[in-house]
Structure 1
């Protein structure tokens, strides 16, 4: 039991770092919204641009900013180098390695959840999961080239699993929303 508590405390402590990057993400997201309004103001006004989509894009920008700050820009160039292509090589008996493994899954859950809200193409699980996998591979390659992180096969696998968890969560919430809306619509029809 103590091991589980220690594990959860370790993961919780590690989650404080990306939370600290939220002001950066919000600032970049705000600039994105401002530029979006300037660029698409007239067109959006005519089309009554989908407010949900605009805010979903905002949160995607916030998420990507925090992710890039965490995985790349918070590290000194040349501080970490190497390639590890061993499958599940990062999972061993130490709590720290297990925490990193789980945190890599958690890190990509927002990708699988937010991107389907922002762009209809990501509602197809293959496109979303493929996008998360490709983004993770690109992140690992940039870490390798800039030596700002270890290039690990496990990271790509766990990030992809996180994307799947996020997409499944998105689908479950969307299905619940659709059911509740159809029940609410049936109530209104009966009153008429």
Structure 2
């Protein structure tokens, strides 16, 4: 219920953002396809789900944490001390959609290095956020999430090669400011929906 509420609450802001993005993008002669926005809202839904499943910090938890500093001892610095476990595999699977969706949506993410960096940074934000609600933060989670994003990119690349005749759409290029930073805005909207309404 909280997840549905947070997702639906950010949709109006996303729609307004996309109206402004299309207006600005057309001035820069950017072309838009309906399929791009379908994938974009799937990304918002996916990101909101990740914030919910991982227990990302909420407003209530942040208020409770005021005056309390994150404890560095809560970070597990030694990865894979227990070997490869099922939760680690789930962490990898959880970030597969991110690595797949980024190159589908944007040309600038049709690079293994950029998707790897984006996966690492998104995972880092999640892990650091867990320090503020006093949940466990693991280096192995960071590594497995990043590996999941990389695997998602490789899956996209494989599908593009196998189905290159059928997959015709192009990701948006970095024309205008809003197009260039659409991914960042969508991630922020999804986080704010979770932060204030979960």
TM-score, normalization by structure 2:
0.65
Say whether residues 1:30 and 2:33 are aligned partners.
Answer: no
Contact map agreement 1:108 1:132 (CA 8 A) in 2: yes
* Equivalent residue, structure 2, for 1:174: 160
CA RMSD of aligned residues (A): 3.0
Unpaired runs of at least 5, structure 2: 169-198
Say whether residues 1:87 and 2:79 are aligned partners.
Answer: yes
CA distance in 2, matches of 1:116, 1:25: 26
The 5 Å alignment of 1:1-192 reads 23-24=4-5, 26-28=7-9, 30-40=11-21, 42-43=23-24, 48-71=31-54, 72-73=56-57, 82-91=74-83, 98-144=85-131, 146-180=132-166
Total equivalences in the alignment: 156
Shift of 1:62: 1.2
Distance 1:22 1:109, change over 3 A: farther
Shift of 1:158: 0.6
Q: Considering fraction of residues, name the structure with more helix.
A: 1
Which structure is richer in relative contact order (CA contacts within 8 A, separation 6 or more)?
Answer: 2
Contact map agreement 1:112 1:167 (CA 8 A) in 2: yes
1:46-104 Cα deviation digits (max 9, x unpaired): 855222222222111111111112221589677x9711011202547xxxxx2211111
Distance 1:49 1:100, change over 3 A: same
CA distance in 2, matches of 1:60, 1:180: 22
Shift of 1:147: 3.1
Unpaired runs of at least 5, structure 1: 1-19, 93-97, 183-192
Shift of 1:39: 2.1
